[in-house]
Amino acid sequence: MMIEAILVLAPLAGAFVAGVFQKVLGDRLAMGITTALVGLSAILSLLVFIDLIWGGGAPRTIELMRFIEIGAFQSSWSVRVDTLSAVMLVVVTSVAFLVHVYSIGYMAEDPHRARFFSYLSFFTFAMLSLVTANDLLQMFFGWEGVGVASYLLIGFWYQKRTANDAAIKAFVTNRVGDFGFALGIMATFHFLGTIQFFPTEAGDVALFSAEVGGRLVDGVLHNLSHMSLMVGQWSIPAAELTAILLFIGAMGKSAQFFLHVWLPDAMEGPTPVSALIHAATMVTAGVVMICRMSELFEMAPNAAAFVTLIGAVTAIFAATVGLAQNDIKRVIAYSTCSQLGYMVFAAGVGAYDAAMFHLFTHAFFKALLFLGAGSVIHGLHHEQDMRYMGGVRRAMQFTWAMMLIGTLALIGAGLPIEGLKIGFAGFYSKDAAIEAAYAAGEGGRAFGMFAFWIGVAAAFLTSFYSWRLMFMTFEGTFRPNPHPSHGHEDVRPGAASDADLGHGADQHGAHGVDHTPSDAGPAGGSGHGRDHRTGGGDGEGRAAPAGTAPAHESPWVMLGPLAVLAVGAVFAGWFFYPYFIGYKADAFWEGAIHRHHADHHFPIWVLWAPVAVTAAGFLLASVFYLLTKGMAERIARAAGPLNAFLAQKWYFDELYDAVFVKGARALGDLFWKGGDQKLIDGLGPNGVAKAARFGGRQLRRAQTGFLYHYSFLMLAAAVLLGAFAIWAGGGLELLGG
Amino acid sequence: MTSEDLLFSLSWVQPELLLAGFVLLGTLVGALFGARSTRLLNVVATAALFAAGVMALMHRPEAPQDIFAGAMSIDAFGAFAKAVIAFAAAATLLLGAEHFHRLQDQQFEFPLITVTAVLGMFVMVSANDLIALYVGVELQSLAAYVLAAWRRDDARSSEAGLKYFVLGALSSGLLLFGCSYVYGFSGSVQFDTIAAAAVEPGVGLMFGLVMVLAGLAFKMGAAPFHMWTPDVYEGAPTPVAALFAAAPKVAAVVLMARMLYEPFAGMEHEWRQVIAVLAGASMLVGAFAGLVQTNLKRLMAYSSIANMGFVLMALAAGSPEGAQAALIYIAVYLPATIGVFAVMMALRHQGQAIETIGDLAGIGQRHVGFAALLTILFFSLAGIPPLAGFWGKFEAFRASLGAGLVPLAVVGAIAAVVAAGYYLRVLATVWFSPSAPSDVRPSSGVSAVLAVVGAALCFPLLLVFMAGLEHAADAAVRASF
């Protein structure tokens, strides 16, 4: 009871203290307090997890507070502890703790560190209340809370216009999804009269079954299967409707196709934020929600097919875009988007365990990649463009090694030999997702086979762009940035003057749009002459040997978290494979999610296909970026429109701008100028006022001031009034009588 | 009439006797001491008016008492109205005293003629036959003509007095014409006898009634007999305009209510349409014409026209609730109106009371107190809750809706909104117009005090007063009809 409450509330306390008393405490103390409290939370989460999995602890719900009771509508603030939430607790708190530690080094020069750490801790709290929710409303609270934290952190460098734009874009795009989620909650309540997941008391009406006090209380979710919503002649199955609405919420948060546009832009935030929020935790909330509602999606085959389709399209779409990005963080962001697609289609084909497993391993290696990229950016004095990197390996050996582990985990390096399955974390989980899609396709599930092939193709692309990133960044010779300004993150006070802000923003646009990738760069160009900023850290401004990057290795406070994550990226898959999807899975999940039990035997080519394409990706990338200089550039030039199409992210931003932004503005203009100004104001307030003044002026004209006018009017009025009275009073008859 | 009857009658007209005695004695004093006695007479006149009002309230009969052989009738309704008239007149007399004192234009006739007008109003209020009615109206009117032309050397004032006199004579002619018809077709000038005849309505009686109503509508300044009001208000000295806007309205309304509800109660069906037309026309004219005014006194004239429209709307209900609503409306209308005039006189521009809306520009920055007073007063006039003006309008609307006069209520609602436009325009000038470098100076005399009192009374003091007023009006109406 106490432990669960503390582990959720500790980050909130840290956020509050660091946020409110930042002036009093100072940056160091604020950082210390928040990091320690999140660390405490991480330890407690680990204890809860261990107790639940190996210690014989039972799934349970701890109600902290009744929140809303309006008739049948009940909502309380609880901590739900079962395998699903315990996995998330571990992922969230451990990554959050590591990111806190890492940020101490990464944000060392920032004057607003206390605020940053307060936001980070607040995010952690919101994410914890999301994953420990025992009803949809608390989940929604956490959902919105992480949205707010994400907004604040993306726009943390509020002096930078692009960061503000990105923050707003993330927030607005998520609103679309959140609206769907809210409608889904309403639909759930409308059909079933409850939004509670598990019963806490014997009398509770809840969605799912659970034992309360030794007696099984049945869930009411299954009632949904024979309900429907009548819209005119149409009968919409309640389960499908509810599932689709909830999934729209998940699409926004998990950056699925159509609602993905915010995620790459979110890279405007500091890199630790990208690692925590936009890789490991928040963006997986949609997957968590689908898994929490897995029973519902099992009842709604059409909705599940839609989930599969969207997941698969996201996986391949983001992977293609990732091929043509030059910003190191954007490559990883599209990779995240693509991997989320894997999780979602795995959930869509019913392999919720595989989805959660991939989520779990992905959190480690993607956080590792982001933090590693952050280390590179830090070492290169906030250069983010891979075209202006190269040869960094020699200066940053440790970071390179960590990034290598992350890349191997991401592409899923491993050997799928029956009985001797061995590989990095991503190998187990991604292949599980791909195999589940194959099995579902075999079983006739809609889009199952489609998802399988997409998964294989995306694995090839993943391998290619991952190695491209590695080679462009760490291998070859250093290519200095011809522009005097630094990259995106270089807007911190002390590191750049205000004059740089506009320039940085301009360059941001230029990177993706006009420049064809100049991967080869000016080989062996003047190694010196790079204008180092004194704010960059250790003042390594001297001329470096030709071809060597003028980089410096990051401090240990940043490298330590990398090492911890690297351990996870290597071993998490191998160690947890039996628990998540292997022979111990039933005991592990204890019914927290829906599981299919069909025991599949896959053809050997299905098992080898992902590994084969991954190796092919590696070879191709080696040829392009390692062995033959300038080849990639030539190909990119030859395939100009295609390259532009990919570099421009399939023109989604332009499409949305044309349709939604311009469209909304045109619609608004129409209503404003035509409807409001002309019609409502014209006939309404202004028109009436005009008419009233006109009437007033006419009356004033009658007020001539001449006695004979007045007296005439009086007499005329008296006579007319008399006539009127006789007419109105029926006096004509009286006259006759 | 026996001496016993005479004594009995005189015992019920003590307020009137007090006022008449003051006028006679005051004339003597004035003739002897000239302008030097003005100050004394002002004070005594105010005291006499106050005393008369209190006496009327204290000494009111349980049941209506016919006196002077049925020429007059004393009842609670009249007593209530007399008190309101006396207090309003006392307030405007104080304003006038201060005003003329500042102008170094001390004339001892001013308090005497004001009190004479009030005496006429008292007679109007208690009139129970056509003769008393006419005498009361004429006494009040003749005094008013003189007051309007008080500044003989001022062309505008003289013009106002002359216009008022000529048109007033015309209206008196209409009134008399109507009275002769009523007498001719009912055979009596006595209200009770007329009431008996009016049970069977005829065209002659109807026509006579309409002419009488036209005459009374002129006195109360209801459209379409309103044309004199803006010109006379603008031309007359400001305290006189304040008097015109207040006391005579009450007398005319009470007299009209008495005419309609007592002798012509049997012809309710016939006269309701006429009153409704008068009400609608007054509300619309007052609301719309007021929009384009720049002179504050003319604005207040149109405001009074619109407000008389609301009173007539209440009267058109034809029920005791209608009379009660009319009485409440006029009682809450008076403090706000007198308060606005008091502010106009308290804010002086080159020694004169301010006249135009433009003079108020920037008052909100320089004289916040007066700006706040004006805000309260105009909000009350516009009928914005919780101020008293809202409850007055509320009662009026309730009465007319209760009688099923929905179209009239709709017209009233429109007029109320439009009228709110010009009240708010004044306040916009007060608060938001850039402060012009003008030499508007506030004074802290009687006018300022009265402005504060007026504004204070705009708060339904504070609902307790309202409850008392409603109770008093209710009791008065119930005892009388």
Give Cβ neighbours of residue B65 (< 8 Å, ≥ 6 apart): B12, B73, B74, B75
Q: In this structure, what token pair is assigned to residue B38?
A: 């003005």
CA dist B415 to A680, B322, B326, Å? 21, 19, 17
Indicate yes or no: CB of A692 within 8 angstroms of CB of B288.
yes
A75: β partners:
A68
Please, where are the H alpha helices in A628-684?
631-638, 640-647, 652-656, 662-669, 682-683
A272 neighbors A374 (Cβ within 8 angstroms): yes
Q: What does the pLDDT read at residue A91?
A: 92
How far apart are the CA of A714 and the nearest CA of chain B, in angstroms?
Answer: 6
Of residues B449 and A658, which shows the higher confidence score? Answer: B449
pLDDT for residue B303 is more than 90 = yes
How far apart are the CA of B270 and the nearest CA of chain A, in angstroms?
Answer: 4
pLDDT in tens, A277-336: 888 888 899 999 999 999 999 989 999 999 999 999 999 989 988 888 888 889 999 999
SS3 letters for B442-480?
A: ECCCHHHHHHHHHHHHHCCCCCHHHHHHHHHHHHHHHHH
A134 neighbors A92 (Cβ within 8 angstroms): no
Contact A721/B at CB under 8 A: yes
Nearest to B117 by CA among B297, B311, B251: B251
State chain B's mean pLDDT as an integer. 89
How far apart are the CA of B143 and the nearest CA of chain A, in angstroms?
Answer: 21
* Rounded percentage of chain A residues whose pLDDT exceeds 70: 85
In angstroms, rounded to a whole number, what is the distance separating the alpha carbons of residues A169 and A151? 9
Indicate yes or no: CB of B166 within 8 angstroms of CB of A722.
no
A365 neighbors A409 (Cβ within 8 angstroms): yes
Q: Which whole number is the average pLDDT over B446-452?
A: 87
Contact A735/B at CB under 8 A: yes
State chain A's mean pLDDT as an integer. 81
Q: In this structure, what token pair is assigned to residue A43?
A: 């330890």
Q: What does the pLDDT read at residue A519?
A: 40
Contact A701/B at CB under 8 A: no
Q: What does the pLDDT read at residue B461?
A: 59
DSSP B295: B
List the single residue in B with minimal CA-CA distance to A688: B418
In angstroms, rounded to a whole number, what is the distance separating the alpha carbons of residues A635 and A464? 15
Give Cβ neighbours of residue B428 (< 8 Å, ≥ 6 apart): none
DSSP A327: B
pLDDT in tens, A18-37: 888 888 888 888 889 999 99
Sign of CA dihedral A534, A536, A537, A542: negative
B388 neighbors B468 (Cβ within 8 angstroms): no
Of residues B126 and B437, which shows the higher confidence score? Answer: B126
List the single residue in A with minimal CA-CA distance to B274: A725
Contact A706/B at CB under 8 A: no
Q: In this structure, what token pair is assigned to residue B221?
A: 């300044």
How far apart are the CA of B71 and the nearest CA of chain A, in angstroms?
Answer: 27
Centre a 10 Å sphere on the Cβ of residue B226 and count the other Cβ atoms it contains.
Answer: 30
pLDDT class of B27 with cuts at 50, 70, 90: very high
List the single residue in B with minimal CA-CA distance to A732: B203
Determine which of B212, B291, B408, B424 to mutate to test the interface with A (most A C-beta atoms within 10 Å): B291
| Amino acid type, B394 | F
Q: What is the CA radius of gyration of chain A?
A: 32
Which helix (H) or strand (E) segment is A230 a member of? Answer: strand A228-231
A537 neighbors A405 (Cβ within 8 angstroms): no
Give Cβ neighbours of residue A32 (< 8 Å, ≥ 6 apart): none
In angstroms, rounded to a whole number, what is the distance separating the alpha carbons of residues B399 and A481? 85
- Among the partner-chain residues A703, A717, A722, the one whose CB lies closest to the CB of B207 is A722
Q: What pairing do the DSSP bridges indicate for beta strands B347-349 and B440-442?
A: antiparallel
Which helix (H) or strand (E) segment is B29 a member of? Answer: helix B14-33
Q: What does the pLDDT read at residue A483?
A: 67
Sign of CA dihedral A355, A356, A357, A363: positive
pLDDT in tens, A95-104: 999 999 999 9
pLDDT for residue B275 is more than 90 = yes
Q: What does the pLDDT read at residue B243?
A: 94
List the single residue in A with minimal CA-CA distance to B288: A696
Q: What does the pLDDT read at residue B249?
A: 92
Centre a 10 Å sphere on the Cβ of residue A234 and count the other Cβ atoms it contains.
Answer: 8
| Amino acid type, A383 | E
Q: What does the pLDDT read at residue A281?
A: 87
Indicate yes or no: CB of B211 within 8 angstroms of CB of A697.
no
DSSP B190: B
- Among the partner-chain residues B170, B214, B289, the one whose CB lies closest to the CB of A721 is B214
Contact B10/A at CB under 8 A: no
Calculate ∠ Cα B210-B215-B221, nearest 5°: 115
Q: What does the pLDDT read at residue B241?
A: 94
pLDDT in tens, B185-207: 998 999 988 988 888 878 888 88
In angstroms, rounded to a whole number, what is the distance separating the alpha carbons of residues A173 and B382? 48
Of the segments A236-245, A680-689, B196-205, which one has the largest average pLDDT value?
A: A236-245
Q: Is the peptide bond before B386 cis (omega within 30 degrees of 0)?
A: yes
pLDDT for residue A504 is more than 90 = no
DSSP B62: S
pLDDT for residue A529 is more than 60 = no
Cβ-based burial of A545 (10 A; exposed 0-12, middle 13-18, buried ≥19): exposed
A2-20 vs A113-131: helix axis angle to the nearest 10? 150
Indicate yes or no: CB of A729 within 8 angstroms of CB of B206.
yes
DSSP B200: S
Nearest to B183 by CA among B129, B235, B147: B129
Indicate yes or no: CB of A689 within 8 angstroms of CB of B267.
no
Q: What is the CA radius of gyration of chain B?
A: 21
- Among the partner-chain residues B163, B277, B289, the one whose CB lies closest to the CB of A696 is B289
In angstroms, rounded to a whole number, what is the distance separating the alpha carbons of residues B211 and A79? 85
What number of helices (H) and strands (E) belong to chain B? 20, 5
Of the segments A650-654, B373-377, B461-465, which one has the largest average pLDDT value?
A: B373-377
Q: What does the pLDDT read at residue A340?
A: 93
pLDDT in tens, A399-424: 999 999 999 999 988 888 777 778 88
List the single residue in A with minimal CA-CA distance to B202: A734
Contact B224/A at CB under 8 A: yes
- Considering only residues 165 to 194 of chain B, which have any Cβ-Cβ distance to chain A shorter than 8 Å? 166-167, 170-171, 174
Indicate yes or no: CB of B270 within 8 angstroms of CB of A699.
no
Give Cβ neighbours of residue B181 (< 8 Å, ≥ 6 apart): B204, B205, B207, B208, B211
pLDDT class of A703 with cuts at 50, 70, 90: confident
Indicate yes or no: CB of A729 within 8 angstroms of CB of B210.
no
B222 neighbors B309 (Cβ within 8 angstroms): yes
DSSP B354: P
Indicate yes or no: CB of A725 within 8 angstroms of CB of B207.
yes
How far apart are the CA of B345 and the nearest CA of chain A, in angstroms?
Answer: 25
Q: What is the pTM of this model?
A: 0.59
A714 neighbors B218 (Cβ within 8 angstroms): yes
A210: β partners:
A217
In the sheet that holds B440-442, the strands lie side by side as: B352-353, B347-349, B440-442
pLDDT in tens, B46-97: 999 999 999 998 888 888 888 988 899 998 888 889 999 999 999 999 999 9
Q: What does the pLDDT read at residue A100?
A: 92
In angstroms, rounded to a whole number, what is the distance separating the alpha carbons of residues A539 and A535? 8
Which helix (H) or strand (E) segment is B122 a member of? Answer: helix B109-126
The percent helix, strand, coil of chain A (3-state, each to 5) is 70, 5, 25
